[in-house]
Amino acid sequence: MITLENICKIYDRNCVEALRNVSLAVADGDYLSVTGASGSGKSTLMHILGLLDAPTSGRYLLDGQDVSALTSDERAALRGQAIGFIFQSFRLLQDLSALENVALPLAFQGVPERERLARARRLLDAVGLADRAPHRPRELSGGQQQRVAIARALAAGPRVLLADEPTAGLDPAACRDTLALFDRLHADGHTIILITHDPAAAARAARRVTIHAGQLKEEPH
Ligand code: ADP
């Protein structure tokens, strides 16, 4: 589903080669973790995989389409439907309820309001938060906010979930809940790429890759 071929990324500003000849194949339903020290290139990789940035050279095929040379507008359009982002900081809109946050990506896709609220309700139910639907993010615990963010990431039916340090700010119980939810999503057939500092979280994934100074290496399972 995702194929990276000899991806390099050089930031013009400081000539740093943040990714060096990165090749990676991710199949439908894979659960893959990416670990590496600070500055190793994890965010750069996430930005490229998530269609937030383009590589300097190399090819990125998403469902067979070469997306490495898309314009930023074309990337943005594809990103909205193909990628579900989950961040450390949740990035929920504070003035919207949990339900409205989950429904928001569907508004960008032109789904009518009734339908998007119904779908958002089903997604909140699926992450165990049906009873929190009317609450604002600040009225929820960190673990609950992350589950709302995961429901939002699923809303538009993305091809891949891209999670950037999703457990880093959570207490141990919320961390366990979040990882258990990823396990369940994986069992349901979702494709997940988990970027994490936490070796215990990384070990949950079926495939583990590490990144050192911009170079990727798959660890034996
Ligand atoms: P990580 O997420 O593993 O901490 P990054 O992908 O952020 O690593 O960074 C990899 C390298 O690229 C680092 O040397 C970093 O300083 C550099 N870098 C990251 N983003 C930029 C940018 N926007 N402009 C210039 N250099 C950058």
Residues 6+ apart with CB under 8 A from 138: 94
Residues within 6 Å of ligand 1 by CB: 11, 13-14, 16, 18, 36, 38-44
The alpha carbon of 5 and the centre of ligand 1 are apart by a number of angstroms equal to: 20
Q: How confident is the model at residue 98 (pLDDT cuts 50, 70, 90)?
A: very high
Q: Which residues contact 18 (CB under 8 A, 6 or more apart)?
A: 9, 10, 11, 41, 44, 214
pLDDT of residue 15: 83
Q: What percent of the chain has pLDDT over 70?
A: 100
Tens of pLDDT, residues 50-90: 999 999 999 999 999 999 989 999 999 999 989 999 999 99
User: Which residue CA neighbors atom 22 of ligand 1 most closely?
Assistant: 11
What is the C-alpha separation between 175 and 155, in angstroms, rounded?
22
18 alpha carbon to ligand 1 midpoint, in Å? 6
Alpha carbon of 132 to those of 83, 145, 211: distances in Å? 25, 10, 38
CA 17 to chain centre: 23
Give the residue, by CA position, lying nearest to ligand 1 atom 20. 44
Residue 157 CA to residue 34 CA, distance in Å, equals: 23
* Nearest CA-CA partner of 36 in 218, 220, 205: 218
Q: pLDDT per residue over 198-221, tens digit each?
A: 898 999 999 999 999 999 999 987
User: 75 C-alpha vs ligand 1 centroid, how far in Å?
Assistant: 21
What residue has token string 């119904």?
Answer: 118
Residue pair 103/155 in contact (Cβ under 8 Å)? The answer is yes
Ligand 1 geometric centre to CA of 47 (Å): 11
